């Protein structure tokens, strides 16, 4: 059990107050231990199954056998965020880690392509393979004259990504829908004392908007886990890959 889980358990059991947690996180020895902890890469997480964790398959570098690392709910098989998506959409776009993978996964209109086939072998695009073979057999001849410079046509990025405005609009729309629904329930007198729906909120770090579920931070583009809040407006990253994703998001939304 890692240090964060131990602290969480102590708070849950009443042996430690929540107010003391920030001081512990700032402790030099605690930080040193956290840095010494080895973080798993996507390669290391492949094929690892934990029955105590959320059963949702997550998108990581195109591999089809990486499980969500967040804890599942007490009366379910998924974490709050993935179960919330199933309740709203009727399904999770990547399915459960224990079920066969969807062969043509699509998230919000964006097609995703697996990196491996059903047997775990790396997939090589036939066109790229032919182009590589042609290049190896017929290396390009050097042309005389000065190299092409500013007149070169810029490559067009055909990847369909959501802009920061689109992501923010989606999150705001979800929040607005929830507020309108609550108003209707209050008007009809059907408001439950304890709401089961999870509150949707935006958590911005370095200008990047993430979706917050309790203390868990999710990437709103595919609900992949990024990490947890650190109590100071930052992120305790889930792993090195999540930290790298955040760095890319900073450049993307700059």
- DSSP for the chain? --HHHHHHHHHHTTSS-GGGHHHHHH-HHHHHHHHHSPPP-HHHHTT---TTB--BB--BTTBS--B--SBPPTTSSS-HHHHHHHHHHSS-TT-BTTSPPPSS-EETTEE---SB-TTSPBP--HHHHHHHHHHHHSPPPPPSSSPP-TTSPPPP-------HHHHHHHHHHHHHHHHHHHHHHHHHT---SS--SPPPEEEEETTEEEEEETTEEE-TTT--EEEEE-SSSSEEESSHHHHHHHHHHHHHH-
Provide the residue ranges of all domains of the chain, joining segments of one domain with +: 1-28, 44-123, 162-183+197-254
The per-residue pLDDT for range 196-248, each reduced to its tens digit, is: 444 457 888 998 888 887 788 888 777 788 888 888 888 999 888 888 889 88
Q: Among residues 71, 61, 4, which one has the least CA distance to residue 33?
A: 4
* % of the chain exceeding 70 in pLDDT: 72
Q: Among residues 211, 233, 254, 230, which one has the least CA distance to residue 85?
A: 211
The per-residue pLDDT for range 111-169, each reduced to its tens digit, is: 899 988 877 788 766 555 565 555 556 665 555 555 555 554 444 444 456 677 777 78
Lowest model confidence (mean pLDDT) among 44-48, 77-81, 177-181, 195-199: 195-199
Q: Is the pLDDT of residue 42 over 50?
A: yes
Could you tell me the pLDDT band of residue 99, with boundaries at 50, 70 and 90?
very high
Mean pLDDT of 97-119: 87
Residue 58: what pLDDT? 92
Q: What angle do CA 41, 223, 4 make, to 5 degrees?
A: 55
């Amino acid at each position: 059990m890692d240090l964060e889980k131990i602290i969480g358990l102590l708070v849950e059991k009443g042996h430690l107050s929540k107010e003391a947690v920030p001081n512990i996180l700032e402790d030099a020895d605690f930080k040193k231990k956290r840095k010494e902890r080895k973080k798993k890469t996507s390669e290391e997480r492949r094929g690892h199954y934990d029955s105590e964790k959320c059963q949702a398959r997550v998108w990581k570098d195109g591999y089809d056998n990486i499980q969500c690392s967040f804890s599942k709910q007490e009366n379910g098989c998924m974490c709050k965020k993935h179960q919330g998506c199933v309740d709203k959409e009727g399904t999770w776009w990547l399915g459960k880690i224990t079920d066969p993978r969807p062969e043509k996964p699509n998230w919000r209109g964006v097609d995703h392509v697996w990196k491996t086939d059903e047997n775990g072998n790396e997939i090589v695009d036939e066109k790229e393979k032919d182009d590589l073979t042609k290049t190896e057999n017929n290396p390009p001849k050097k042309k005389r004259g000065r190299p092409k410079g500013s007149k070169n046509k810029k490559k067009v990025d055909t990847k369909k990504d959501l802009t920061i405005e689109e992501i923010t609009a989606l999150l705001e729309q979800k929040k607005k829908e929830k507020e309108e629904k609550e108003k209707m329930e209050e008007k009809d007198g059907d408001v439950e004392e304890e709401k089961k729906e999870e509150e949707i909120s935006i958590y911005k770090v370095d200008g990047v908007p993430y979706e917050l579920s309790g203390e868990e931070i999710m990437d709103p583009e595919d609900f992949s886990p990024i990490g947890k809040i650190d109590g100071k407006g930052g992120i305790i990253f889930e792993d090195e890959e999540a930290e790298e994703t955040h760095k890319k998001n900073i450049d993307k939304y700059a």
